[in-house]
């Protein structure tokens, strides 16, 4: 289930390729560092599918984190330089906490990291230079790794916090706009079946994280924000402990927009990852 077909049919769209997980016998795994001798950096094989990706702006007021798993909001940031780590942490983190509290009614929001990305033609992500857009359908956390993130980051309070509702919400925005190159596509969580999500290992030097890779399903409904401005933000649900029918996992991916002009400036963006706590 997703948005009603007549609402989808009324939206403009682009047709673009999205990279899903190809069927494979082994558990998906990606190293964030040089792998052991003889091991590939990743055993994930992409399977490209050409799909309509719809303009969400006309229905943005009706889209919500708890229903579709994402939301489009506006916020003018006071940050002057998103490449300045200290300014991001001292200025942008508090802005994000206030925004997500207002959007969710949460009792507490903790920003636990951020990533700045700038696309470099031909460069691979995590290859020692600038972080690159991730052109692969995925979810940042899983049923298992969501609670584990709380235990890792707030160990003294974790078990008490996990008695209430816990969400992991990403806050994603362009640094330069309007963003035409490598925009972000987000999938209506209601159009995703549990069997579409495949737990995958993300191997760090000191720990092993778990994300979801995503298998293709023709029922998936995809959306994006054309020409996204710097004061526009996509909120993405990457985990929710609530199992009452609320959206829990919203797949997303960068994609090559075939309508983008060839001289479009390379994408620059920042994403924050946040733990969001509700007392009940």
What per-residue confidence (pLDDT) applies to 181?
94
Q: Which CATH number belongs to the domain containing residue 41 in this structure?
A: 2.60.120
What per-residue confidence (pLDDT) applies to 127?
62
Is there a contact between 222 and 15 (Cβ–Cβ < 8 Å)? no
Q: Which residues contact 98 (CB under 8 A, 6 or more apart)?
A: none
Could you list the residue range(s) of the whole structural domain that residue 204 is in? 5-278
Q: Return the SS3 of 91.
A: helix
What per-residue confidence (pLDDT) applies to 212?
97
What per-residue confidence (pLDDT) applies to 10?
83
Query: Which of the four pLDDT bands, split at 50, 70 and 90, describes residue 129?
Result: low
User: What CA–CA distance (Å, rounded) separates 67 from 246?
Assistant: 6
How many of the other CB atoms lie within 10 Å of CB of 63? 18
Point out the least confidently predicted range of 49-58, 93-102, 164-173, 204-213. 204-213
The two structure tokens encoding residue 195: 């069997």
Q: Running DSSP on this structure, what letter comes out for residue 68?
A: T
Domain count for the chain, please give it.
Answer: 1
Q: How many Å is the maximal CA-CA distance in the chain?
A: 53
How many of the other CB atoms lie within 10 Å of CB of 200? 22
Residue with tokens 């016998």: 25
Is there a contact between 152 and 200 (Cβ–Cβ < 8 Å)? no
The two structure tokens encoding residue 44: 């994930």
What per-residue confidence (pLDDT) applies to 125?
66
pLDDT at 108 over 60: yes
pLDDT, one tens digit per residue, over 130-152 is 788 889 999 999 999 999 999 99
Give the chain's end-to-end CA distance (angstroms, integer): 27
């Amino acid at each position: 289930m997703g948005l009603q077909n007549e609402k989808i049919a009324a939206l403009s769209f682009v047709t673009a390729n999205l990279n899903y997980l190809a069927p494979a016998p082994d558990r998906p795994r990606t190293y964030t560092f040089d792998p052991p001798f003889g091991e590939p950096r990743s055993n994930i094989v992409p399977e490209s599918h050409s799909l309509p990706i719809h303009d969400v702006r006309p229905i943005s007021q009706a889209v919500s984190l708890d229903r579709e798993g994402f939301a489009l909001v506006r916020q003018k940031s006071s940050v002057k330089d998103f490449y300045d780590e200290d300014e991001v942490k001292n200025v942008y983190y508090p802005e994000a906490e206030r925004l997500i509290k207002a959007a969710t009614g949460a009792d507490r929001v903790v920003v636990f990291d951020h990533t700045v990305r700038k696309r470099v033609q031909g460069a691979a992500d995590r290859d020692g230079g600038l972080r690159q857009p991730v052109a692969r359908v995925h979810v940042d956390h899983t049923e298992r790794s969501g609670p584990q993130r709380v235990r890792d980051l707030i160990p003294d309070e974790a078990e008490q916090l996990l008695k209430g509702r816990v969400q992991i919400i990403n806050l994603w925005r362009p640094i330069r706009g309007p963003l035409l190159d490598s925009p972000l596509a987000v999938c209506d969580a209601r159009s995703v079946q549990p069997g579409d999500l495949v737990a995958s290992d993300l191997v760090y030097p000191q720990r092993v994280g778990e994300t979801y890779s995503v298998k293709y399903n023709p029922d998936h409904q995809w959306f994006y924000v054309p020409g996204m401005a710097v004061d526009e933000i996509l909120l993405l649900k990457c985990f929710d402990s609530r199992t009452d029918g609320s959206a829990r996992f919203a797949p997303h991916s960068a994609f090559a927009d075939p309508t983008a002009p060839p001289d479009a400036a390379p994408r620059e963006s920042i994403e924050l990852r946040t733990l969001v706590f509700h007392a009940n």
